[in-house]
Structure 1
Amino acid sequence: MTSTPPHQSILDKPFVLDLFAGPGGLDVAGHRLGVPSLGIEWDVSACLTRYRAGLDTLHADVSAVRRESFESLPPEINVLAGGPPCQTYSVAGKGSGREALDKVKEFIERLMAGDPDEKIDKDLKSLSDPRTALVLEPLRYAIQATRSPNRGHRPYDAIVLEQVPAVKALWDRYAEVLQQIGLPDGTKYQAVVEVLDTETYGVPQTRSRAVLIARRVGLGDPFLPKATHRAYEAREWNRRNDGVAAPTMQPTLYDAKVPEPGERPTEDDDLRHWTSMGDALAEPVGTHPGRRTPFLIRSNYGSSGNPGRRGVRTDRQPATTVTGRISRFVVFEPVGDHHPDVVCEGPRFSMNEAGMLQSFPPDYPWSGTARAQQVGNAVPPLFGAHLLSAALGLPAPTPEVLRKPWVPATEEQRAKLRSHGCGAADDCTARCPRPE
């Protein structure tokens, strides 16, 4: 499969169903591409963010919608997308999902063979953490689409999935069965699977994701989005910039000689330089005042594979993977002009800045509680735009499309969205999922 896009949409009117939609990473991507979407999200705070952002939303449990109200979904939806919760598969978690990979693969085969949902649900209870089973929901939705009278039993035309790298083995199995066995009704897909690095698509952070892009047979071979930026090489950076010290009592800054944004380092390399934190945050835009002062950050987890510099990066590097702990990042700035290499703790990242490091537009209306967690859980919109563009055959997006400030929904629009998503204009209702 090639990674060179033909720039010709495979669908006249793409409409995305975004499972586990979070605060809106894929939906923001679709919005900037002119592709409508409907997101299903369980967390009330993420839904509040989505309503304020003007994104069409169902405040619901993905599994419950599939079981109980699939027929109420718009029949014109033709693209399935999503990033199932990753806690049990992430290296930052306890690893119950990684330990259950072989068992989950068996469930994939049973689903494709047409095993009854009731029996599948009963047997899934054997998993030590029920979140592990959520990675099966995209496949179950794809199957359910072919059984839906409201859709005319029509399968989805394209599928776009992303997760932590440990899930690549499951996406590989998804691809095998979609291509070789097909859904129970006989529908087959062509699929590509790979682990991609978000900084190679202009996102100002290093984050690796396992992605699957599939197209229904007859709609052309799928391809991976072509990288637009160079990969960040931590060891090469450390070799060239030996003077960086991990901040202890008195961290130091330095002026690293790196290519300017957009500079092409060699004649045969047409990729832009990776986007740094400084590139993303320096200029004022919307209500963001700009962060022009050089800085370095210390996170509470590793960043470059070098224990001596664990968790430390400067504004000339991309951020480490943005997680729910982004609000704990300590930011250091120079004390003054006379002592540029002596630094003290400066203001930490605002939620607006944290979102911008995820490639969310400036002034995205983060709402509710646990906002840092919302930011960390989201699909980086610029990365999501590349995935959707590749899946649909659209021109690749540029970082500039996501740098315009986001215009929030009006109160009237928000109330209408919440009435649809929760059942009431200003509150949740009995149909909304409860935290317990």
Structure 2
Amino acid sequence: MIGVELFAGPGGLGLAAELAGVRTVGIEWDANAVATRVAAGLATVHGDVTRYGPADIPGTILTGGPPCQTFTIAGNGEGRAELERIIDAVKRMGGRQYVDPREFADPRTALVLEPLRWALADFETSYNAIVLEQVPQVLPVWEAYADVLRQEGYSVATGVLAAEQYGLPQTRKRAVLIAKLVGEAALPEPTHRPYKRGVPHHEGDPNLLPWVSMGEALDLPEPFTVISNYGTGGDPRNRGRRTSGEPAFTVTGKISRNRVIDAAGNELPRFTAAEAGQLQGFPAGYPWSGGDIPQQIGNACPVLLGVALIKAAIA
């Protein structure tokens, strides 16, 4: 099996695929992310996804996580505002009509349609499996994809998954799609309990493992507390706090701004690139390279979630 990873970034889904036993080739335009991928030994095409197609880079599994800036709550909101038009575009693509990316206010919004272009391209064979992930706001787009892909003979499953339920030391929700040509598509079963504030680590479904805390994932003296500005709208009064005995907040490109303090309130060094990467599921020694490393990490698919998705797709 050979996987083709669109919008490959520094290797979240690519590394996940390798861990699941699938060799991949990733397409990525950002030179910084490409530098990391090359250092990690991941096969990479440095280029624009929109300029390639299945005939250029053949494979049997299609994976991808299109840019989320216009859909995420922290972004400009253009994608969310144009959801109905995006879904209409998906339907038109299913009817083999051309969709001009210039129809959308922000050109990044149209990139969410690229995996479908690849999936529907006239080529020798269809993909055996498709795995896509994005921010939760994109779920309606994946559901529209599902309608089109079912017409093409795929079994499709969509939903929103919580990263901590797949062993990530971080709470992060992702809208996902799994499509299979052979067999029934299903989302991966959780392996860990969901994180709920105030519920002790040892409590919950006895059939699932406890969620993983930052303290368990990082080689740092405990206890410590992380003070995050994520989701606060920039208001310092709304800054959230998580202790080392809890999973991290969603890891974003602004993770280097998070403060870390000890039990006495003393400032500790902020997370290194290696530590931020570990919270996203990368190995401690992952060779982060190039510039803007926090953004590379924040944009990546959580590795263990990716492993679960790909294993479910090829089962």
Question: Is the shorter-chain TM-score for this pair beyond 0.5, marking a shared fold?
Answer: yes
C-alpha distance in structure 1 between counterparts of 2:85 and 2:139, whole Å: 15
Return the offset for 1:299: 1.1
Distance, in Å, in 2 between the alignment partners of 1:293 and 1:189 is 48
- 1:428 aligned residue: none
Residue 163 (structure 2) aligned to one of 198, 205, 209? 198
1:173 is the counterpart of 2:144: yes
Q: Secondary structure at the match of 1:71?
A: coil
Deviations 1:7-59 (A, max 9, x none): xxxxxxx2110000000001111222221000000100000000000000000
Deviations 1:113-154 (A, max 9, x none): 112x4xx22xx312110100000000000111xx23xxxx21
Q: 2:73 aligns with which of 91, 97, 109?
A: 91
In percent, how many aligned pairs have the same letter? 48
Deviation of 1:96 (Å):
0.5
Q: Which amino acid is 1:164 matched to? A: V
Of the candidates 24, 30, 45, which is equivalent to residue 32 of structure 2? 45
Query: What whole-Å deviation, never above 9, does each CA across 1:361-413 have from its counterpart, x for those lacking one?
Result: 111000000000000000011110000011111xxxxxxxxxxxxxxxxxxxx
Match of 1:327 among 248, 256, 266: 256
* Cα distance in 2 for residues equivalent to 1:113 and 1:33: 34
Tell me what 1:233 maps to: 196
State the distance in 1 between where 2:145 and 2:222 align: 47
**2:28 is equivalent to residue 15 of structure 1:** no
CA distance in 2, matches of 1:63, 1:211: 21
Of 42, 52, 56, which residue of structure 2 is paired with 1:72? Answer: 56
For 2:82 and 2:210, locate their aligned partners in 1 and report how far apart those are by CA, in whole Å: 39
CA distance in 1, matches of 2:17, 2:78: 33
Per the alignment, residue 142 of structure 1 pairs with: 119
- Report the residue type matching 1:137 in the other structure: E
User: How much does 1:292 deviate?
Assistant: 2.4
Q: Write the mapping of 1:96-245 to structure 2, written as runs, cut at 5 A.
A: 96-115=78-97, 117=98, 120-121=99-100, 124-144=101-121, 147-148=122-123, 153-179=124-150, 181-182=151-152, 188-216=153-181, 219-234=182-197, 236-237=198-199
Which whole-Å CA distance do the structure 1 matches of 2:249 and 2:262 have between them?
Answer: 18
Matches of 1:37 and 1:174 in 2, distance apart? 23
Separation of aligned partners in 2, 1:56 and 1:276: 32
Return the alpha-carbon distance in structure 1 between the equivalents of residues 169 and 214 of structure 2. Answer: 6
State the superposition RMSD in angstroms: 1.6
- Give the Cα–Cα distance (whole angstroms) in 2 for the partners of residues 50 and 107 of structure 1: 32
Tell me which of 227, 234, 241 is aligned to 1:298: 227
Task: Say which SS state the counterpart of residue 226 (structure 1) adopts.
Answer: coil
Is the contact made by 2:4 and 2:24 (CA closer than 8 Å) also made in structure 1? Answer: yes
Question: Match for 2:243 among 295, 305, 314?
Answer: 314
Q: CA-to-partner distance for each residue in 1:83-108, whole Å, 9 max, x for gaps?
A: 00000010111211011111111111
- The corresponding residue for 1:434 is none
Moved over 3 A (4+): 307-310
Q: Secondary structure at the match of 1:269?
A: coil
How many residues in Structure 1 have an aligned counterpart in Structure 2? Answer: 312
Larger Rg: 1
The alignment partner of 2:266 has SS state of strand
The verdict on how the C-alpha distance between 1:351 and 1:20 changes in structure 2, with shifts beyond 3 A counting, is: same
Please give the TM-score of this superposition, normalised by the length of structure 2: 0.95
Contact kept, 8 Å, 2:259 with 2:267, in 1: the verdict is: yes
Write the letter of the residue equivalent to 1:35: V
Pairwise CA distance, 1:293: 2.8
Which residue of structure 2 lines up, in the alignment, with residue 245 of structure 1? none
Please state how far the C-alpha of 1:300 moved relative to its aligned partner.
1.4
Where does the alignment leave 5 or more consecutive residues of structure 2 unmatched? none
Give the deviation of 1:309 after TM superposition. 6.5
Instruction: Sort the Cα spacing of 1:321 and 1:295 in 2 relative to 1 into closer, same or farther, 3 A.
Output: same
* 1:63 lines up with 2:50 in the alignment: yes
- The alignment's TM-score, normalised by the length of structure 1, stands at 0.69
Match of 2:116, as an amino acid? Answer: L
Partner Cα separation in structure 1 for residue 226 and residue 111 of structure 2: 34
